[in-house]
Amino acid sequence: MKPIYLDHAASTPVHPEVAEVMMKIMTGQFGNASSVHAFGRSAKKIVSGARDAISSTLGCSSDEWVFSGGGTESDNLALFGAAHSRKGGHIITTAIEHHAVLHACEELEKEGYSVTYLPVDQTGRVSLKDLEAALRDDTFLISVMFANNEVGTIQPIEEIGRLAREKEILFHVDAVQALGSIPISLSDLPVDYMSFTAHKINGPQGIGGLYVRRGAPLHPRLYGGLQERGRRAGTENLAGAAGFAKAVELAVKGREVRNEEALALRNRLLEGLDQGIGRDSYKINGNAEHGLTHITNISFPGVRTDVMLMNLDMEGIAASSGSACTSGSLEISHVLKAMNLADDQLSSAVRFSTGLGNTSEEMELVARKIETILNRLRNKG
């Protein structure tokens, strides 16, 4: 059986058109974009072209875009960049953020900043009332992810942003999982910083970006050169930038069709589970009204997450327990804990995320394999 990859929320296969763009650069361009000779100017043109293309597609000015080494660096650059532009103060984030945000906030706490971690409801959604109640006179930054990478819940970003603007508080959004699934027009959103990465949208690993609203403070994290207008030192990743630009173009252009396909794949999986194991044998974690179509987090009460993942892997099916940055630890998801789910849901949750290459036939097969696994495990018990 051909392996079935259902972990697109962790990383996606590179789109053939992206790979083609990158290969041309990797085999034909080796100049440093900071050099003044012809090779350097050619390299600079590639980086500038990629920056212009991404900025145009996402609705911001090219000078508001900073290339980074990925989503984690983009999150860190925004948080530390905003915090270190001042001394002390209060930050608000949520309990379900990616660890790139949570661990950065923990470090900022060690530096003397105060951080409030907002709770979420049982679907993983933040309450605006809780956010308003957490505001203080010294609150200078709010960081809330656009869509959660484990359960797919989409947050009320526009409402939060309007509140932040009203209170003159900087607002950072981790949009790593949202790009390509949710319409994003940066000039229309009340956001000061927004983090992205390429490998979630069929682009290359190791390249990301940060939108920085013109006028928003950003203290650099890396020193050594004046690249990215002095905001992020380091020789530019030519092929990565060009590949990222192509991936953004394809992701935004094909968003509606891809969401429809993802919804059809999810429905096929759930229909197969309903027929095979029955609707009462599993629970869906997340927000049915405000959620990404390509992420489905399912608990199979009575079967531990690690046991299910191991059995799926033996059947040639790649799924996940949650964030790729922590799934290897086999710890209970901090996101699901924050959602206050029942213990049997916490200990049995599996994330299935679809994308390029997945088919409805695969979803039917996965449902049948899950039925087989559950029957085998129950017979063992």
> Domains (ranges, CATH) in the chain?
4-12+255-379 (3.90.1150.10), 65-234 (3.40.640.10)
Q: Which helix (H) or strand (E) holds 284?
A: strand 283-285
Active site residue 325: yes
Given a cut of 60, whether residue 116 has pLDDT beyond it is: yes
Mean pLDDT of 47-66: 98
Quick one: pLDDT at residue 329?
A: 52
Q: Which tokens hold the place of 251?
A: 């992701």
User: Can you give the three-state secondary structure of 222-252, one letter per residue?
Assistant: CCCCCCHHHCCCCCCCHHHHHHHHHHHHHHH
| Mean pLDDT along residues 141-154 | 98
User: Which segments of 59-127 are extended strands (E)?
Assistant: 65-68, 90-94, 114-118
pLDDT at 239: 97
Residue 331 has a pLDDT of 79
Compute the average pLDDT of residues 224-242: 94
Q: Cα separation of 37 and 47, whole Å?
A: 16
| Cα maximum dimension of the chain | 71
Catalytic residue among 325, 332, 356, 377: 325
Residue for token pair 């997945």? 358
Residue 11 reports pLDDT greater than 90: yes
Structure tokens that stand for 342 in this block:
């029942």
Q: What is the mean pLDDT of residues 245-263?
A: 97
Residue 379: what pLDDT? 78
pLDDT given at position 168:
98
pTM over 0.85: yes
Which tens digit of pLDDT belongs to each residue from 287-341?
999 999 999 999 999 999 999 999 999 999 999 987 555 445 567 899 999 999 9
Q: Which residue has the tokens 């206050």?
A: 340
Q: What is the pLDDT of residues 80-97, one digit of tens each?
A: 999 999 999 999 999 999
What pLDDT score does 326 carry? 47
Q: Across residues 204-216, what is the average pLDDT?
A: 98
**Residues 263, 261: Cα–Cα separation, whole Å:** 5
Give kind and range of the element (H or E) at residue 367: helix 360-380
Report the alpha-carbon distance of residue 26 to residue 360 in Å, rounded.
Answer: 36
Region 60-73 average pLDDT = 98
- Residue 264: is its pLDDT beyond 60? yes
Average pLDDT, rounded, for the chain: 95
pLDDT of residue 334: 96
Asked if pLDDT for residue 54 goes beyond 50, the answer is yes
pLDDT of residue 381: 56
pLDDT of 25 strictly over 60: yes
